[in-house]
Structure 1
Amino acid sequence: MLKRQLASWLLIRNGEERVVLYLSLLYLALGAGMAVGRSSSDALLFKRLGVEFLPQMFFLTSFLLVGFSAVYAEFSDRLHPSRMFKYIVALTGIFLVVVWGAMQNGGSKIAFAAYFLGYGVVSEILLVHSNLYASGFLDLSQSKRISPLINAASRLGGVVGGVTLGLLSSRFPTEYMALVWALTLVEAFFLIAAYHRGEQRIRAKTKPLKKHGRPLVHIREGLEFARRSSLLQIAGLGLFVMIVLISMQDYLVSTILTRHFQNERDLAAFFGWFSAFTNFAVLLLQILTTNRLLRRFGLKLVSLIFPWSTAASFALLGLSASFLPAVIGRFNYTGMMPAFRNPSANLFYSALPGYMQGRARALSIGLILPLGLAVSGLLLMWVPKESVGESLAVFGLLLSFVYIYLKIVKNRIYAASLACLIQQQVYTGIGEELEEIGRLDERVVGELKQLLQQTEDGDNYVAYAEILLHGAPQDAGKILLETLPGKSAQVQDRLLPRIAELAPPGWQDYMRCCLDSVDTHLRATALTELAKRGDVDALRAIHGWLVHTNPRIRAVAAQACFAAQDPVLHEVAERTLRTMLSAEKPGAIIAALSVMPGLKLFSLDDAVRALLQHPDAGVRAAAIAATGAIGAVGERLILLARALRDEDVVVQRAAEKNAVTLMPITESEYAAALDTYFSFFHMQSLLTNYLAQSELAQRKTILLAIAHRHLQRAWDKKSVALHALSLAQQASARQADEAGFLRLVLNEEVLRHIDIALDILALLDEAQMARAISAALASRDRRLRAQALESLRHIENKALVEWLLPLIEAAQDGARWEHTVPDMPRDMNEMIAWCKRQGGQWLRQCAALMEEETSRATPV
C-alpha cells in the first residue's frame, strides 16, 4: 500500500517502476561524479593557475568540443545508446586516472588545465547522451512525468558528491577527487552492463571512418536540416546566447568567490557544500514543482523560468558584485538551469523528426556550444579586470532580455513544428485538393489524353478525367467526347453532367445518342441534362417517357418537365410523381423521391412525410433526402433526429448527407437545437459543423458555450464512473455487475463528449492542426498521443484546453482524478437515476433497462 501511494505521489504508473529505478540509479552515480568533478576542477584551476585564465579555458574547451563532438556525432546514431554509453564512461574513467597521476606532488599546470578541460568536454557529452539514452525509454507524456524524477536522482547524486567533497577536501589533497569521480563512473558502467545483459538487440556495426569519407557528416546533415527547420534555427540561436550568458556569469561569480576564499581547500570545501545544498534544492524543485508545472502548463511556461532567473541574478550582481549576489548567481547556473532549463530543453527535440534528433543534439554540442564558448572566451579576454564587476553584470542583464525574447519566439515556433510533425505521422483525410494542381501544359494534357485512350479500368479513367477537368477545362470537354464512347455505361453516366457543364461542340449529339442506350441510368442522366438546357428533341420525347415502364425513366421525365416553362407539363409531372409515391413497389417510390430534392413541391409534403415511416429502408433513406422544405425548423429537426436513430445504417447515412437542407437558419434556432439535442451526440456533431460553416455573427460564441457544456458534463460523468467502482464494492453481485457496465458506458460517453469538443476546436482553430491532434489522440501510439497533448496546450482557446487536458490524460493515460459532483449517487438506485437524468441516449436506455430489471427482481 505504501509503495502504491509513493508511486502515485511521484506520478509513476503501473509498469514503469523498473525503468524509473534503473535510470534513477544511473543518474545518481553520474550526478555524484559530476558534482565532484566540477567543484574540484574549478577549485584547482582557480587557485593553481588563477581565475584570470578562465576565458582561455572557455576558448580551448570550444576547440576540444569540436573534435570530440565530431567523434560522438559519427557514432551517436550508428551505435546503440547503451553501447555508446559504456564507451564514454570507460574512456572517461581511464582519462581521470591518467590525469590524477599527472597532478601528483604539485604536478604541472598543464595537468590541472587538462582536468578542467576534461570536465568541460565530458560533462557536455554525458549530458547530451544521457538525455538521448533516457528518451529511448520514455515517450513525451512519460518524459514530462518521469524525466524530472530521474533528473532529481542526478541532483541527489550531486548532494552525495558535494558532501563527499566537502568532507574529503579537508583530509586529502583536492587532486584526489579525480579518483572519486572515476569510482562513480565504474558504478555507472556496471549498471548499464547489468541492465542490458541478455537483451537480443540488432545493433548497427561500426563502419571504419576512412570508408565513411566525412567525419562531420552528422553535423553537416544537422546544418542542412536547420536550413529548413525554423525551430532548430531559433533553438540554436537561443542556445548560443545562453552559453555566452552563463560563461559571463561564471567568470564574474568565480572571480568574486576566488577573492573571497584565501586557499584552495577552503574554496573546494565551499564548492562541495554549496553543490550539496544546490543539488538538494534542485532535488526538491524537480520532485515537487517541475513535473507538475510541465503537466499543468506545459513547456511554454517552464522554458521561461530559467531565462527570467538569469536576468534577476544579473540584476543583483549589477547592484552589488559581492559575495551574496555571487552565491545567488552560481545557484542560477548550477541549480535553476538543471531544475528547469534542461528538462524542458530536452523535450523540445520531440518536435523534430526522430531520424534527426540525434543529429540535432550532435549539432548542439559539436557546433553551437563550441562557438558560444569561443565567442565568450574571446569576449572575456578583452574585458579589463577593473570591469569584472557591476559593468559586466549590466551587460549580462541586457543580453538576458534578448534571451527571454528568443525563448518566447521559440515557444511559438515549437507549437507549429510539433503540430506539423503530428500531421506528417497521422492520416487526417485532408489531402491535396484537385484545385491545387494548377493549369496543365500541352505536354501533360497530351499524356493524359493517351492515358484516357489506353486505360480499360473505369475508376482509372474517371481519375484521369478529374485531373484533366481541373487542370485543363478548356480542353477537357473535347477530349472526353473523343475518348468516352465505348467506355462502360457507369463511367459515361458519371461524366455526362461534367461534359454538359463544359458544353463542348457536339455534346448534345452525344447526349442524344445516350438516349438510345440500354442502360436506364445513362438514358435518364442524358435526358435530364438535355431537358435542363431546353433541348427541343428531349422536351418533345418527354410525354412518351412519362408513361415508360421503367420508374427511373418516368421520374427523370417528370423532373425534366419542371425544367421546361410549360404549366401543363408541370401538372402532368406532379400527377406522375404523386402516383409513383403511392406505388406498392419500393423501386418506383425511390425513383420518384430521388428527383424531388430542389423541386419544392409543397403539395407532396404529406406524402413524403408518410414515407419516412415506410418499412423499406431504401424508401426511408430517399424520403429523408426529399424533406428539406417540409415544415418549420423544429419539425425538420425532429425528422432528422428520427432518421439518425434509424436502425438501418443506409437511412442514417442518407440523413447525414442531406442534413444541410434540414438545418436551422437563425442563431436562436441553432442555440435552441443544440440545447434540445444536447444528449444526442450524432445530432450535436451535425449542428456544430453546419453552424461553424454559417455566416452567423455569434457562431463562435454559441460553439464555445456548447463545447464548455460538453466538457463539464464529461467531467461529471468521469467522476460518477470512478465512483461506480466504490459502489460496486458495497453492492450485491448483480448490482456490482450493473455498476461495472454503467461505468463502461459512462466512460464511452466521456469520450464522445471529448470528441465533440475536439471537433469544435477544429472548427474554431486551424482545422488541419486540430484534426491531426484528434487523430493522434485516437491512435494507439503513445508517442503520438503525447505529442498531441503537448500540441493541444498551444491551441488558442485556453479555456477549452484547460478542461480538455485532464479528461484526455485520465481517459488515456490513467492519471489521477479528483473532481466530484454535487449530486454524487449514494447507491445503485441513485446511480441509475443519475444516468437516466444526465446520460446520452445509450446510457439512458441502459439505465432504464436496469431499472426495469431491478423492479422485476424486487418482490411485491
Structure 2
Amino acid sequence: MRRRFAECKIKRGGAIEIAEHHEPLGNRLIRHFGIEVREIRAFGYFALLFFLLGAGLALGRGSSNSLFLKRFGVAHLPETYAIIGLTLFVASMGYAALADRLRPERLLWGVLLVLAALLGVNWTLIVYTDLMFAYPVYFIIFELVSELLALHATLYFSCNFDSLQVKRLLPLGLASLQAGGMCGGIGLAGIAAYSGSQHAAAAWAVLALLAAALVAKHHGKGKVSPFYRPQRRGGGELRRALDQVLQGIRFTGRSALLRFASIGIFFMVVALYCASYASKAVLVVAFPNEAELTIVFGVLAFVTGATALLIQAFFTGKLLLRFGVRTMNLVFPLTTIAVVCGMIFFPGVAAALVVMLNRHVVMPAIRNPVRSLLFEALPDWMQGRARALSLGLVLPLALFASGLLLHFSQSIKPGLAVLLPALLAAFLFFYLSIRMNAAYVHSMLMTLKEKLYLPEGQAGELGRGEDAQLLEELINGVKHGDDQVALAYARVLISGFPAQAADVILERMRTASVRTRDALLRLVGPCLPHQLVKRLEVEGGDAHETSTRLSLHLSIAGDHAAGLIEKCLAAKNPRLVGCGIVGAFQHEDEEWAHRGAHVLEVMLRSDQETTLLSALEALRTVRATAFSGRICSLLSHPSPRVQRGCLQALAAIGRAEIERIDPLVESIYASRDHQLRAACVRCYALLEPSRRDSLCLRALSDNHPLVAMTAMDTLHQCSENFGTLLLSWLCDQTIRPRAQEVVLDYLKLHGLLLHVLPTVAESKIATAEMMAHVLYLLDKSVLGMDSAEGANALFRIVLRERVGQAIRLALAALEPIVDRNRLRIVRASLHGRDRRQVARAIEALSHVDLPLVSGRLRNLLLSLNGSGMSQRMIFPDALTALNWARHSADEWLRECALADRSAGGVGA
C-alpha cells in the first residue's frame, strides 16, 4: 500500500491526493435498496427462496379458490372456515412445540417436503377420481400453508439477521415473495387457459421440491442460522413441548404487547374473512365460467404482486424509517375500515376487487413487515412461541367464529348481515392497534433490561419505595448464608427501607463473621433507636467491633457514659482510646474535654502508626482546631495511611495554614493511591478560590472515579462559579470522555445544572456527527477501501470509539430530560456487543419525544450500524475531513491522524 502511494507522489511530484472511489452501477443499485455488500450473498439466497415460495402460494391461492367456488360451492365456505380453524389449531400447536426446538432451516425443509407430498396426492385425486372432498382438502391445505409457511419464513429470516438488518431487508425479502406471486399468477392464468386449473397443484408441488432443495444446498455443510438459539435437548420431548406452549400462554397474559396483538388479530381475521366472503360471492356471480374465474384470480395475483412489490421495494423500508413502526401499524386497520365501508355503500365487482387488493397488497406490503418488527420487541426465547401461539390459538378461534357468523348470516340478509359485523371488527382492530403501539416501547425496554446488569448505585434506587414484594426479596437477601451477599443486600435495604432494616440486620449479625458483624453494625448504627443501643453488649469479637459498639453507646450520652470514657482512656488498644477521646469531648463536663485533649496530644506525638491513625480518626469527629499545626507537620510522614488520615482530619477541621499545606498537598497528589489523592482533593477547599478551582478541574480528569467525585463535591460546596466552570469543562474536547461521563452521573445523581445538560448533549452529538462523517468519507475513498492496515486502521478504530463515547455522553446528559429509565437501558445496550440488543436500543430511541434524540441521534446511530441511512454532510471531501482531524482538540485523535499521514496513508 505504501508503494502505491509512493509511486503516486513521484508521478504527481507533489502532495498525495485522495482519489474518490467510484462504485460499479450494480453496487450503487444494491446500496440504493439499503443492502450492504457483506449482505449480498445471504440476502440473495433468501430472495430466491422467497420467490419460489411466492410463486407456489400464488398458484395455490388462485387454483384452490376457483376449484372450491365452482366445483364445491360458495355456500360451503362458512363450514370450511370453521374446519380450517380447528385444523389450524392442531397444526399450530405442533408448530409451536417445534418452532424454537428445531433449527428453522431444518423445520422449513421438512415442511416443504410434506407439502410437496400432500399436493401430489391431492392432484392425483382431483385429476383421476371424482371424489368431491378433494376440493375442500386442497382449499384447506392452501389456507394452512399460507399461514404457517409465511410465519416460519419470516422467523427463519429473523434468525439470520439482526433487528436493524431485518428492518431494512425484510421488506425487500417480502418483495421477492411478491415477485414470485406475480410470476405464479401469470403461470396460473396460462395453466387455466391451456390445460385446466386442476393442474396448478402439480406445478406447486414442483416449486415446493425446488425450494426444499435450495434450503438443503444452502445449509449442506452444517451451516446454522447465526441468530438461532437452540433449546436444551433430551428425553420427554412431548412433555417439554406442552410446557413451552403453556409458557407462551402465561407470557401472553403478562405481556401487554402480545395480549393486544393477539386480540387485534382476532378482530382482523373476522373483518377480513367476512369481507372476503362477500367479495367472493360477488365474483362467482360475475364470472360464471371456471376458467374465466381462474384467469381473473391469476391476473389479480399478478396485479397484487406487482403493486405489493413496488411498495415493498421502494416505499416500505423508507416509510418505516421515516414514520416509525407505531405509525405504520395503523395503516392496515384504516384501509380495512375503508374497504368494508366500500362494500357496504358501493357493492359490486370493483368493491370486491378492492377488498382483494387490501388483503393481498396492503397486508403483505405494510402489515406483515410491521408485525414482524413489533414482535422483535419480545424476548428472543419467546418470539417463535408468541408467533405460533397467536396463530394457533387466536387465528383458529377467529376462523371458527367467522364460520359461525357467516353460517347464521345466510339465513338473514347476506350483504349487510355479513358486512356490519365486519365493520365493527375493523374498528376494534384499529383501537387495539393503538393500544399495541402504547405497549410496544415498554415491551422493548423490558426485553433490553433482561440482558443488562444494573450497577450498585442504580440497584440502590430500586429500593426506594413501598413495594412489599421488593422488601421481602431484600430481607431474604440479607438472610443469605454468604456474608458478602448479605452485606450487599443490607446496603440496599438500609437505603430503601430504613424503618424495617434494623431488626433484620441485627438478627443477621448473630450468624455473621466478626468482620461482617462490624460492617453491619456500622451500617445500621445511625438508624438504631436508643433503646436498642442500650441493649447492645459493649464487648465485641475484636477491637474494631468493640470500638464500634462503644461509639454507639457514647453517642447517646447515658448515665454510664463517664465510666465508659474512663475505661476507654485507660485501655491499651489505641482504637479504644480514640473512642474515649471522642466521648470525652462530647461529655458535658469540661474536665473530660481537657483530659481528652491531653491524651490526644500525647497520641499525636507517638511514633506508632496505629496510634497516630486512631488519634487522627478521633480528630475527624471532634474537629479540634488547636491541633491543625501538628497535623500539618504529620503530612510529611512516610506512611500513606497517616498522610491520608491527616488530610481527612484537616478537611474535617476546615482550617489550616494555606502557605504550609499547598506544596505538601500538591506533592502528595502525585501518589498512585487513589484514596490518598481523593483526600488531597478534599483539602483543596482550604486553598485560595482560584487555586482551588484550577486544582479541582484537574482532578475531574483523574483516572479514578472516587477522585473525580470528590472534586465535584469540593467544587459544588465551595465554588461560586460552579455552573460556568462545569459547562465549559464538559464541552471541552480535550477532556477524556470517561471523566466527563463520571461528572455527568454526579450531576444527575444530585440534580445539579440540569438546565445546561441539553447544551452539553447537543455539543456531543455535533462532535459525534463530525467524526462519523470523517469515518464515512474514509470508507468511500480509495484510501478507506484499500488501506486496512497500520496507522490508517488505528485511526479508523479511534474514530469509531470516539463516536461511540460521544453518543454515550449525549445520552447520559439527556437522561434527566427524557425518560431516565429508558435512556439508561439504551446506554447500557449500546455499550454491549450484541447486535440484536443494539438494534433494539436504536429502535427504542425512535420513540423518544425529543427531536434531538429521535432525529439526529437516532439517524447517527443508524448510519453507524449500516442501516443505509445517509450521513449528515459536514465536510466537502475526505481531505478536508482529515485536515480537521489533524487539528482536532482531541489529542489522541490528532496523534492518530498525524501518524496516518506519516505512514503514507494520507496527503498533506
- Report the RMSD for the aligned CA atoms in angstroms: 4.2
- Structure 1 residue 161: Cα displacement: 0.7
d(CA) in 1 for partners of 2:318, 2:514: 59
CA separation of 1:463/1:620 partners in 2, compared to 1, >3 Å: closer, same or farther?
closer
- Structure 1 residue 711: Cα displacement: 0.5
Corresponding residue to 1:50 among 73, 79, 90: 73
CA separation of 1:558/1:149 partners in 2, compared to 1, >3 Å: closer, same or farther?
same
Amino acid at match of 1:406: L
Residues 628-669 of structure 1, C-alpha deviations (whole Å, 9 max, x = no match): 46555x7654322212345xx46x632323412313899985
d(CA) in 2 for partners of 1:736, 1:767: 41
d(CA) in 1 for partners of 2:43, 2:121: 34
- Structure 1 residue 590: Cα displacement: 3.3
- Structure-2 residue corresponding to 1:643: 699
Higher mean C-alpha deviation, range 685-694 or range 219-228: 685-694
Written as runs of structure 1 = structure 2, the 5 A alignment for 1:449-464 is 452-456=509-513, 458-459=515-516, 461=517
- Structure 1 residue 416: Cα displacement: 0.9
1:431 matches 2:481: no
d(CA) in 1 for partners of 2:510, 2:330: 63
Corresponding residue to 1:486 among 541, 544, 555: 541
d(CA) in 1 for partners of 2:281, 2:665: 88
- Structure 1 residue 73: Cα displacement: 3.0
d(CA) in 2 for partners of 1:43, 1:507: 101
Amino acid at match of 2:388: A
SS of 1:284 mapped into structure 2: helix
- Structure-2 residue corresponding to 1:566: none
SS of 2:815 mapped into structure 1: helix
- Structure-1 residue corresponding to 2:380: 354
CA separation of 1:594/1:248 partners in 2, compared to 1, >3 Å: closer, same or farther?
same
- Structure 1 residue 32: Cα displacement: 0.9
1:102 matches 2:130: no
CA separation of 1:561/1:456 partners in 2, compared to 1, >3 Å: closer, same or farther?
closer
- Structure 1 residue 198: Cα displacement: 3.2
Residues 848 and 854 in structure 2, CA contact (< 8 A), matched pair in contact too: yes
Written as runs of structure 1 = structure 2, the 5 A alignment for 1:577-588 is 577-580=631-634
Higher mean C-alpha deviation, range 794-803 or range 840-849: 840-849
CA separation of 1:826/1:846 partners in 2, compared to 1, >3 Å: closer, same or farther?
closer
SS of 2:667 mapped into structure 1: coil
- Structure-1 residue corresponding to 2:41: 18
Residues 53-110 of structure 1, C-alpha deviations (whole Å, 9 max, x = no match): 3222222211111222233333334433333323322222222222222223783432
- Structure-1 residue corresponding to 2:838: 785
d(CA) in 1 for partners of 2:900, 2:223: 52
Residues 605 and 627 in structure 1, CA contact (< 8 A), matched pair in contact too: no
SS of 2:193 mapped into structure 1: coil
1:193 matches 2:248: no
1:257 matches 2:314: no
Residues 37 and 181 in structure 1, CA contact (< 8 A), matched pair in contact too: yes
Structure 1 vs Structure 2: percent identity of aligned residues? 26
Residues 426-446 of structure 1, C-alpha deviations (whole Å, 9 max, x = no match): 1121336566536979x9799
Residues 591-615 of structure 1, C-alpha deviations (whole Å, 9 max, x = no match): 32212335443x6455554445225
d(CA) in 1 for partners of 2:351, 2:806: 53
CA separation of 1:199/1:738 partners in 2, compared to 1, >3 Å: closer, same or farther?
closer
Residues 298 and 793 in structure 1, CA contact (< 8 A), matched pair in contact too: yes
CA separation of 1:666/1:604 partners in 2, compared to 1, >3 Å: closer, same or farther?
closer
SS of 1:795 mapped into structure 2: coil
1:839 matches 2:889: yes
1:685 matches 2:775: no
Residues 452-486 of structure 1, C-alpha deviations (whole Å, 9 max, x = no match): 34444634x4676589779987887468647x712
- Structure 1 residue 39: Cα displacement: 1.1
Amino acid at match of 1:778: H
Higher mean C-alpha deviation, range 749-758 or range 388-397: 388-397
Residues 710-766 of structure 1, C-alpha deviations (whole Å, 9 max, x = no match): 101210121124335678849999x99766655443333222211111212333344
TM-score, scaled relative to structure 1: 0.85
Residues 59 and 185 in structure 2, CA contact (< 8 A), matched pair in contact too: yes
Amino acid at match of 2:613: R
- Structure-2 residue corresponding to 1:123: 146
- Structure 1 residue 588: Cα displacement: 5.2
Number of aligned pairs? Answer: 832
Corresponding residue to 1:300 among 321, 326, 329: 326
Written as runs of structure 1 = structure 2, the 5 A alignment for 1:650-729 is 653-663=706-716, 670=723, 673-679=726-732, 680=735, 681-682=737-738, 684-693=740-749, 700-724=754-778, 729=783
1:411 matches 2:434: no
- Structure-2 residue corresponding to 1:177: 200
Residues 724 and 740 in structure 1, CA contact (< 8 A), matched pair in contact too: no
Residues 40 and 174 in structure 1, CA contact (< 8 A), matched pair in contact too: yes
Structure 2 segments unaligned to the other structure (5+ residues): 1-23, 225-229, 465-469, 480-501
Structure 1 segments unaligned to the other structure (5+ residues): 563-568
Residues 218 and 362 in structure 1, CA contact (< 8 A), matched pair in contact too: no
TM-score, scaled relative to structure 2: 0.81
d(CA) in 2 for partners of 1:175, 1:700: 72
- Structure 1 residue 241: Cα displacement: 1.3
Written as runs of structure 1 = structure 2, the 5 A alignment for 1:71-470 is 71-104=94-127, 107-199=130-222, 212=238, 217-383=243-409, 387-389=413-415, 393=419, 396-429=422-455, 430-431=458-459, 437=471, 452-456=509-513, 458-459=515-516, 461=517
SS of 1:546 mapped into structure 2: helix
CA separation of 1:475/1:153 partners in 2, compared to 1, >3 Å: closer, same or farther?
farther
Higher mean C-alpha deviation, range 326-335 or range 77-86: 77-86
d(CA) in 2 for partners of 1:220, 1:840: 56
Residues 746-805 of structure 1, C-alpha deviations (whole Å, 9 max, x = no match): 333222211111212333344343222222211122222222222232334343232222
Corresponding residue to 2:616 among 552, 555, 558: 555
d(CA) in 1 for partners of 2:85, 2:771: 58
CA separation of 1:52/1:207 partners in 2, compared to 1, >3 Å: closer, same or farther?
farther
d(CA) in 2 for partners of 1:551, 1:805: 57
Corresponding residue to 1:613 among 655, 666, 691: 666
d(CA) in 2 for partners of 1:589, 1:467: 26
Residues 709 and 746 in structure 2, CA contact (< 8 A), matched pair in contact too: no
- Structure-2 residue corresponding to 1:753: 806
d(CA) in 2 for partners of 1:844, 1:478: 65
CA separation of 1:109/1:759 partners in 2, compared to 1, >3 Å: closer, same or farther?
same
CA separation of 1:815/1:315 partners in 2, compared to 1, >3 Å: closer, same or farther?
same
Residues 681 and 714 in structure 2, CA contact (< 8 A), matched pair in contact too: no
Residues 521 and 548 in structure 2, CA contact (< 8 A), matched pair in contact too: no
d(CA) in 1 for partners of 2:724, 2:283: 68
Amino acid at match of 1:590: R
Residues 445 and 844 in structure 2, CA contact (< 8 A), matched pair in contact too: yes
Corresponding residue to 2:857 among 772, 783, 804: 804
d(CA) in 2 for partners of 1:667, 1:244: 69
Amino acid at match of 1:252: A
Residues 636 and 664 in structure 2, CA contact (< 8 A), matched pair in contact too: no
Residues 497-530 of structure 1, C-alpha deviations (whole Å, 9 max, x = no match): 7777788997997787666677656754674577
Amino acid at match of 1:251: Y
- Structure 1 residue 240: Cα displacement: 0.9
Higher mean C-alpha deviation, range 66-75 or range 776-785: 66-75
d(CA) in 1 for partners of 2:546, 2:667: 33
Residues 522 and 548 in structure 2, CA contact (< 8 A), matched pair in contact too: no
Corresponding residue to 2:684 among 624, 627, 639: 627
- Structure 1 residue 539: Cα displacement: 5.8
Residues 671 and 702 in structure 1, CA contact (< 8 A), matched pair in contact too: no
- Structure 1 residue 236: Cα displacement: 1.0
d(CA) in 2 for partners of 1:591, 1:579: 13
1:65 matches 2:88: yes
